[in-house]
Amino acid sequence: MKGNRLDLIRVEFHCHTIYSKDSLTSPERLVKACRRKGIDRVIVTDHNTIAGARAAQALDPELVVVGEEILTTRGELLAAFVKEEVPAGLSPQEAIRRLKGQGAFISVSHPFDIYRGGHWDEADLLEILPDVDAIEVFNSRCWSPEFNQQAQEFAERHNVPGTVGSDAHAPLELGRSVLLLEQFQGAEEMRAVIRRGVPNVRWSRPWVHLISRFAVLLKGLKSGLDMQNQP
């Protein structure tokens, strides 16, 4: 590894803002929490939108990287350095084509967590493997630690770099899992250093999913009340 551990920066690869249907974290609160927790770079990866990431980046361009978590017809992708939003519902190949066209860094979200709609069948994952830069080998919100173990073993077996992430939907979750990396600017430099990353990870207890469920319920209730109040 180049340099020593003191030269490395703490990178949060996976988190959400209020622009995701299952989070109540404003971009302002996310940025403040990252600063308070000593996170050096945060990739904001809202579901199928980059609006929250752009709003957060406007507050702190040095801290925030625009990313997106994209639901394809086979599973979810996790991208960094996204310039143009990629919609949900595309085939993995088409979503990857669009991401590659803008030079984005492409990982795969919680590939083996069977309790999430965005998990992958291994055959589908193998099909796209030559076209992605990494897979997420540790996600703090995986329902069971065994799903992360599967991802780690898969990455090692196929010699694929790994990313880790808190998958934070609330400020208290930010920084639970970060990757210590050498300094980088842009997706190409990230690709150059990703294999030398040092994971610093903690599993989140399943109760954190209640935060997401509460956000979905609250937003649904608010939407219903707004519709009732329309003239």
Residues facing residue 76 across a β-bridge: 71
CB 35 within 8 A of CB 63: yes
| b/e sequence 34-54, b meaning 16+ C-beta within 10 Å | beebebbbbbbbbbbbbbbbb
Q: What share of the chain is helix, strand, coil (3-state, %, to 5)?
A: 40, 20, 40
Confidence category of residue 226, pLDDT binned at 50, 70, 90: low
Predicted local distance difference test score (pLDDT) of residue 227: 61
Confidence category of residue 4, pLDDT binned at 50, 70, 90: low
Domain ranges in the chain?
7-229
Predicted local distance difference test score (pLDDT) of residue 32: 98
With 0.85 as the threshold, say if the pTM is over it.
yes
Predicted local distance difference test score (pLDDT) of residue 152: 98
Residues facing residue 10 across a β-bridge: 180
- Is the model's pLDDT at 92 over the cut of 90? yes
Say how far apart CA 19 and CA 8 lie, in whole Å. Answer: 30
pLDDT tens by residue, 104-138: 999 999 999 999 989 999 999 999 999 999 999 99
CATH number, span 7-229: 3.20.20.140
What interhelical angle do 27-37 and 51-59 show, nearest 10? 50
Predicted local distance difference test score (pLDDT) of residue 223: 73
Q: Is 210 helix (H, G, I), strand (E, B) or coil?
A: helix
Type of residue numbered 173:
E
pLDDT tens by residue, 41-57: 999 999 999 999 999 99
Predicted local distance difference test score (pLDDT) of residue 3: 45
